[in-house]
């Protein structure tokens, strides 16, 4: 079975490092981006099996990133998880409308992320 590749998008280096460490310990391969604009470039050059993104980022935020990824060929059903401090119902609905697959609120537990990732990429 091929190793699943996950793109982690967050403007916080410490959050990216925590998520990357958690996922790599879980047996996944990761790549990172600092914001939605960088994430789109990374995804186009090296597609991932799953995207985990923050909501609030400079240049291109999580909602815009999801909208852009959904336009990419073959990405209609790509699993995209929002990992954010935002738990506002309105934002969640906006995410759902854009095509988000799941919503996790920070701070997170390693087991939470791994359980959700396993559910959406296996």
Break the chain into its structural domains and give their ranges. Answer: 5-121
Q: What's the pLDDT at 74?
A: 85
- Would you say 6 and 23 are in contact if contact means Cβ atoms under 8 Å apart? yes
Q: What's the pLDDT at 1?
A: 63
Tell me the pTM: 0.95
pLDDT tens string, the chain, 122 residues long: the values are 688 999 999 999 999 999 999 999 999 999 999 999 999 999 999 999 999 999 999 999 999 999 999 999 888 889 999 999 988 999 999 999 999 999 999 988 999 999 999 998 87
Q: In sequence order, what E strands does 1-122 have?
A: 5-9, 29-33, 50-53, 80-84, 102-105
Helices (H) and strands (E) in the chain, counts: 5, 5
Domain 5-121: give its CATH architecture.
Answer: 3-Layer(aba) Sandwich (3.40)
Residues ≥6 apart with Cβ < 8 Å to 122: none
């Amino acid at each position: 079975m091929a190793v699943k590749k996950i793109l982690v998008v967050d403007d916080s280096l410490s959050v990216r490092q925590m998520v990357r460490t958690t996922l790599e310990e879980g047996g996944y391969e990761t790549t990172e981006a600092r914001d939605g604009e960088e994430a789109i470039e990374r995804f186009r050059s090296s597609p991932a099996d799953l995207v985990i993104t923050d909501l609030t980022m400079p240049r291109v935020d999580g909602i815009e990133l999801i909208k852009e990824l959904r336009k990419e060929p073959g990405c209609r059903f790509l699993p995209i998880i929002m990992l954010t401090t935002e738990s506002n119902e309105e934002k969640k609905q906006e995410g759902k409308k854009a095509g988000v697959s799941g919503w996790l609120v920070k701070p997170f537990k390693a087991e939470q992320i791994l359980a959700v990732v396993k559910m959406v990429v296996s």
